[in-house]
A and B are shown apart, each in its own frame.
Chain A
Amino acid sequence: MVKSILIVDDSPVARMIMKKCLPESLGITIIEAKNGQEGVEKYQQHQPDLTFMDLTMPVMDGFTALSLIKAINPQAVVVVATADIQEKVLQRVEDLGALLTLKKPPSKQALADALKRAKEALAQVRS
């Protein structure tokens, strides 16, 4: 089960869109961070089940934050959310250990699929 989600994005609108697209009925706790550094700190503090990570952010970008979170917990489930889904970016994000990449702006369907993938990954980790 995905009970808590950390959304790391510098744009308040991007975080809002993400929340709007998440199914409400599940009672998921949402934690927000507005840059990579804050994201890493909040990850450590809350140990969320799933993290949505933007890439281009001030202070610390998503690539760095992703690798730091993976250093804290190699089994952390991180989904990268970016508009720039070119091959090289996807490859780099995958190498850093992201579960998958979500194209921005997200659709409800795409988020539902991402949640499903995250659940499967979490189940694997926990078993």
Chain B
Amino acid sequence: MIFDQIFETINSGLIVLDRDMKVCHWNRWMAMHAHIASEDIIGRSLFEFYPELNRPHFLRNCKAVLAFGHFCFFSQKLHKYLFPMAPVGSLVDHFEQMQQSCAMGPLRNEEGGIEKCYISVQDVTEVVLYQKKLVQLTMTDQLTGVYNRNFMESQLSKEIDRCQRYQHDLSLLMIDVDLFKTINDNYGHPCGDFALKTITRRITANIRKTDFLIRYGGDEFCCILTETSQQDAYIVAELLRKSIADTPFEFKDRIFSSTVSIGVAGLNSDDKHLECLLKKADEALYRAKQSGRNTVT
């Protein structure tokens, strides 16, 4: 009696299935979120309502539970969800489907034989949203919205390892705003911020979605061009340089121009780490600065 009430009122989905995948119990949470009344689904196969579950991976897990008494876990990270349902409340704005963490386990009779199994469904959408926000916060630069150095160090080393392994091309551009300090000094910091934002916008407009733009330091940016040889990277760098130098900046009736210097480096088979590539690009950038700025080396 008490357990029946808990079954119905608990804030999670609970389903009991028999060995033929026919629904024996379907709690109120399931009815509410799946929009299927228990009287409509009880006695019928789960696959009639959720044909997409009738696939090898899910069936394999059912077998593990029913034949061998295993417990199976369907993580949100890997599966996103088992039962398509609308997210609750404002979470609709962020996800198309409710994110779920599900588990499945055996239910035994008095003799210990497995007659049925249960599936529990937990709504983890909110947690996933927080995770996404946290990842975003730790990986992006708050001023310009591009990636930050933290992202570069944690993610790009892996990208470089992968390129090395499969011998793909990859190039790195080290971009430095020429005389950025004078913009700050002459027009004030808000104007400097505006310049940085404008520069990132112009760079982003000229690279592909598969490339990465990182704010490396105050006025230093780093651009990773995937599947790009050093020669092609040089062409891209020229394009970026021109996109910044050719159009003046306009901030509160004030018009000024700014330029960047770019160092280009391509990944060689002997560059074991991100640091090697960074060092090469940095050296190229230094040469660009030496040769009078607004140049690509």
Q: Is there a contact between chains A and B in the complex with CB atoms less than 8 Å apart? A: no
B residues adjacent to A (C-beta < 8 A): none
